Amino acid sequence: MPRPIDHLLLSSGGPSYSLDFNEARRKAEANLWLPLQVARSAKDKVRPCGTLLFVGGTGGRRPGAGPLISAVTAALPALTKSLALELAPVRVNLIAPGFVDTPLS
């Protein structure tokens, strides 16, 4: 019998700035549909005190990032919030790392 999962981290690939339809489809599947599929599969496998942690991005904060990455990164927080309500008491969180301008960068 498989053991329950305590914490699960899902990090998708990097951003896409292309308007190629096939690449756009692959990126949307990797960054939006994959988290949904992982959450659905993990629903009965993650302990009640466990965590699903998604890694997104900040590309949706500015329109210059490109239409695809802007749309996907803008949709992922809404998906995460909805999954958190649906999967409670399992925690569902999103980390959206971005560039931080510091003296070391």
- Contact at 8 Å (CB) between 32 and 24? no
pTM as predicted: 0.81
**Low pLDDT (below 50) residues in the chain:** none
Average pLDDT, rounded, for the chain: 85
For residue 65, the 8-state DSSP code is G
Q: CA–CA separation, 45 vs 4, rounded Å?
A: 5
Distance of CA 78 to the CA centre of its chain: 10
Q: Which alpha helices (H) appear in the chain, and where do they start and end? A: 21-28, 34-42, 67-87
Give the tens place of pLDDT for each residue, 58-83: 776 766 667 777 787 788 899 999 99
